[in-house]
Chains A and B, each alone.
Chain A
């Protein structure tokens, strides 16, 4: 049973370019979460998505960041016009849901994408 997959694992962009990070949830999971980890910091929640729906984007910066989880294909976190402060590790997690049994809610994390902005 494949776990959460993220690609690319490492991404280098120059200031002003766009970054696209992809996440494929675990088989059978329909809930995706994105977290950001700045250097020497803990992970911070960014956004929670279900298929074709953004449920909670309260942790997303108001500008340049967007996320989607289409009916087909992986979830995408998109950062437009990247700046040096966007350099971080971006982790995706998936779960079977958010209610009911505790193990159904459990979030499984991918290996992350490390974004470096030059």
Chain B
């Protein structure tokens, strides 16, 4: 799987949009971009994933650049409960290989301030 680079930490004001960047310059054509988050003392929680088109669900939006070398996770209206470590992961989908291995780096600690 390709390596990702994320800032160590970010702050955001409650109610504002939180934009979390991720660089994955060596991503392969068949690798998806996944985002998980881990609230303190809990297991990782899946947020969203995408291949090349922008994606949106009830939790967040994922913007992937045209060259797919970077992406941004957007939490449109951050709340205090969104304070967590956010992990950007790239992985291959489909059968074969070891694509089931999620490789978590250190992620970005997002702190939402009142």
| B and A form one assembly | yes
Instruction: Please determine whether B100 and A33 come into contact, CB atoms closer than 8 angstroms.
Output: yes
Q: For the complex, is A95 an interface residue (Cβ under 8 Å from B)?
A: yes
- State which of A100, A107, A111, A112 has its C-beta within 8 Å of the C-beta of B102: A107
Q: Which residues of A contact B (CB under 8 A)?
A: 4, 31, 33, 35, 41-45, 48, 56, 58-59, 91, 93, 95, 98-100, 102, 105-112, 114
Q: For the complex, is B49 an interface residue (Cβ under 8 Å from A)?
A: yes
* Bound-complex Cα distance A42 to B81 (A): 21
Q: Which 3 A-B pairs have the closest CB atoms?
A: A99-B95, A109-B43, A42-B104
Instruction: Please determine whether A56 and B44 come into contact, CB atoms closer than 8 angstroms.
Output: no
* Bound-complex Cα distance A50 to B61 (A): 33
**Chain B 72-114 interface 0/1 with A at a Cβ cutoff of 8 Å (1 = within):** 0000000000000001000001111011111111110000000
Not counting A99-B94, A107-B100, a sample of 17 additional A-B residue pairs whose C-beta atoms are within 8 angstroms of each other reads A35-B104, A43-B44, A43-B102, A43-B104, A45-B103, A48-B101, A56-B101, A58-B98, A93-B102, A98-B95, A100-B95, A105-B99, A106-B46, A109-B43, A109-B44, A109-B45, A110-B43
Interface size on B, residues (CB 8 A): 23
Q: Which residues of B contact A (CB under 8 A)?
A: 32, 41-46, 49, 87, 93-96, 98-107
With A48-B100, A100-B95, A102-B49 known as contacts, the answer to whether A111 contacts B105 (CB < 8 A) is no
* Bound-complex Cα distance A98 to B91 (A): 12
Chain B residues whose CB sits within 8 angstroms of the CB of A42 once the complex forms: 87, 104-107
Chain A residues whose CB sits within 8 angstroms of the CB of B43 once the complex forms: 4, 91, 93, 109-112
